[in-house]
Amino acid sequence: MRSIGEMARDSGLGVSALRFYDRAGVLVPAWVDPVSGYRWYEPEQLEDARLLARLRRAGMPLADIRLVLAGWSGADTELVRELLRAHLRRLEQGLSDARSEFSALRALLDQRENVMTSLRTDTVRLSVAAPELAAALDAVRFAASTDPELPMLAGVLFDIEGDHLHAVATDRYRMAVARAGVGGHEGSRVQVIVPTALVDAMRALLDGEAPVLLSLDGDHVTLEAGDRQAAGRCLDHDFPDYRRLLPRAGERRAVVEVAAFRQALETGPVRSAEAGAADLSVLRVADGGSVVLCADGDDDPDRVAVNREFLLAALAAGARDRLVLEFAAPTAPIVIRRPDDEDAFSMLMPVRLED
């Protein structure tokens, strides 16, 4: 018989997916150890598992997958063919509908670009307290994207309005926002995207207590710290409107001791990821307000799964002995805040456990 790990390796289905399909009654193991709960499969079930993996990648609904597997094992080839044809028709119709929507969206974008005015101004010079800017960059740098397909996210947004500079970074799966006070800016709102390499060069200059000078001149940005400076060209892209993504207050809040929580994450249970995917930590808030790491078999409806590496990076960027975790729903982002600074926070998108 095949262990669940061997079945996962040979079929293309992850261990967590095999557990899910067992609970759903789609691919039930031949035998389950009554003591350990470990699943074992007959060699003949490998073909069904590989078929299931293909149907899953094709996006077939679970109800139809059940019928296909039943028809496959019963040699009812006509039923299987009809189910495949019906699903293909749905995919083709969905693609046609998506093309129509994207065509309309492109037209709206063209119209929007024609009427938009740049938020940048010709020249802006302002002063920033070095420790504040350093803390803001440290709080968001980890969330900047490295995806070459998303060049508009390959940096940190400097959003300057009134007497504040908001630093923002996101890679779609996480977002971090922090704030620093500025002086000398009396104009309208200004936004520039500073490339990550230049952000790192700026951060290296912020080792003192004296204010630094930040200058924006067209598409160039310069940071002066005494007789040292870091300068370069801003990214020529429009950053997403992050204000529309700001989180609402979570229904459940928990204060965590960062050192102990990091150790629990590093040594505690994780969901085994499929090949090429990240390990997941599954969290829930206990009745007493503490955060609990869920083991396999914990089916609490309010549990939330997140990328463990992302969570550890967010805890480090929080730069506090204690942090506040906010949970709204299993499908809503986890928000990580500093107890003494509500303007510095990060958000982590949840991961669907069924996947």
Tokens (6 digits) for 192? 């520039």
Domains, the chain, in order of start with CATH, read 2-87 (1.10.1660.10), 123-244 (3.10.150.10), 247-348 (3.10.150.10)
Q: What is the pLDDT of residues 167-196, one digit of tens each?
A: 999 999 999 999 999 998 877 889 999 999
CB 223 within 8 A of CB 205: yes
Task: Assess whether pLDDT exceeds 60 at residue 139.
Answer: yes
| This model's pTM is above 0.75 | no
Report the run of H or E that residue 55 belongs to, with start and end.
Answer: helix 45-57
Task: Assess whether pLDDT exceeds 60 at residue 115.
Answer: no
Q: Looking at residue 269, what is its pLDDT?
A: 87
CB 306 within 8 A of CB 334: yes
Mean pLDDT of 151-171: 94
Close Cβ partners of 279 (under 8 Å, ≥ 6 residues apart): 270, 271, 272, 273, 307, 308, 309
Close Cβ partners of 245 (under 8 Å, ≥ 6 residues apart): 170, 175, 347
Task: Assess whether pLDDT exceeds 60 at residue 118.
Answer: no
Mean pLDDT of 79-104: 89
What's the pLDDT band for 117 if we cut at 50, 70, 90?
Answer: very low
Strand pairing report for 39-41 and 2-3: antiparallel
How many beta carbons lie within 10 A of that of residue 267, not counting itself?
9
Q: Looking at residue 41, what is its pLDDT?
A: 94
Q: Looking at residue 116, what is its pLDDT?
A: 44
- With H, G, I as helix, E, B as strand and everything else as coil, classify residue 101: helix
Closest by CA to 352, choosing from 311, 310, 306, is: 306
Mean pLDDT of 316-328: 92
What's the pLDDT band for 164 if we cut at 50, 70, 90?
Answer: very high
Burial class (CB in 10 A: 0-12, 13-18, 19+), 178: buried
